Structure 1
Amino acid sequence: MQWSWHPVQLSFYVATIATVIAFLLAILSAFWIIRKDRKGKAIIETIFFLPLVLPPTVVGFFLIITFGTNSWIGQMIEEIAGESILFTSTAAIIAATIVAFPLIYQSIKTGFLSVDKNIIGAAKVDGANDWAVLLKVILPLSYRSLTTSAVLGFTRGFGEFGATLMFAGNIPGKTQTIPTAIYLAIETGETTIAWYYVLISIGFSFLLLFLINRMKSDT
């Protein structure tokens, strides 16, 4: 095994795209949940949080079942794209999105619930509809929670290993991210190379978490 920047670049790419997707989905989901008392809310949120507690291999298993060539979703994607998404960077993005979503959702929901209901009520009295309230009131007043959620989601997606290994594989130059590169380096006895990737991962994660703590201390 040789040192390569590709796992680093791919990890940043995967984590960025996954964070954007999970961030948008989490905003819509959180807004939908808090708007009214929903029937089955507890069940829905339990499903949202399952990726946090399930073994990564279980998440990877369900992703393979859902998007594999034997499923109708996988077959439809293969017909449209001309190839299966298994063992591709797209698979890595999907895996990272799934595991990052719960952290992003929880932080965003907490931020939304912290917004003064009197302000929301005043905006509705002035004629603002639900989407206007979200865009012009809730999101601006929740910006710290939004920033925190994005950073936590990015860090989680950046470090995703188990589901990615099962669903996207560990193909050097194609689907190998930093976590899977570390795994391969240890497996092949390349401890020095493993240390390079470990230090990059620790340094970047430390920086992001440090920024979050600085933001909290400034509040």
Structure 2
Amino acid sequence: MRSHPSPPLVYAHRGSSASFPELTRAAFVEALADGADGVECDVHLSSDGHLVLHHDAQLGRTSDGLGALADHTLAQLRNVDYSSWKGVAVPDTHGAAGEQFMTLDELLDLLLAAGRPVGLAVEMKHPSPRGRGLEDALLALLERRGWDPRTGRLGTVLVSLMSFDADAVSHLLERAAPAVVCQLVDENSGERERENLSGRAASTSSPVPAAQLPLAGPGIGFVRAHITEWASVIRTSEDQTP
């Protein structure tokens, strides 16, 4: 008799970004309403040291802002329009216009108020003008809020940390368990990132061979390019299973 594995966990990438502007309050409120098991977000540091949710290093693609995000204070970033480009109306239940741009602190508050367990996958975006200061700020915020770096638990939220940057991952491993740190890989950088980690694993406070690190990958671009092929293989395998 064929066993039935547990259903996969569904994480909303940048929130429910198909329905509402990515990484906005509306996108995360919608993800929770949709029943997502968790959400994914990207973080940068503002010029005055706040961890903010934004994918690109530049403001233009998903807002009417201009220039590098890192050159703006949080107050300046709050004055940018992050919703109009999507062309969808944001209901009052999903936050006012001035509430759409979020800090990581605010996202944690939203997830903790969900009344159920929720996962949060945080990606550190690099290259960052702050270097390892981005990881230090993230760890400081999480620890201030009571995050357990061994289990990833912060109340009802399970927080995992990830980056495509091998130096960032190695830096995180000096203070967090391998089970909550993920090395992101893509078609071009996967082997290089594994090699970089292999050379640094022994210097972490919790030494671990690179091969044992949980890998969150490949990157979303690689997945989108190959998902049809993979789905076909999976269907064929299921058809041939007795």
Whether TM exceeds 0.5 here: the answer is no
The structure carrying a bigger helix percent of its residues is 1
- Structure number with the higher strand fraction is 2
TM-score (norm 1): 0.30
Q: Comparing both chains, which one has the higher relative contact order based on Cα–Cα distances under 8 Å and sequence gaps of 6 or more?
A: 1
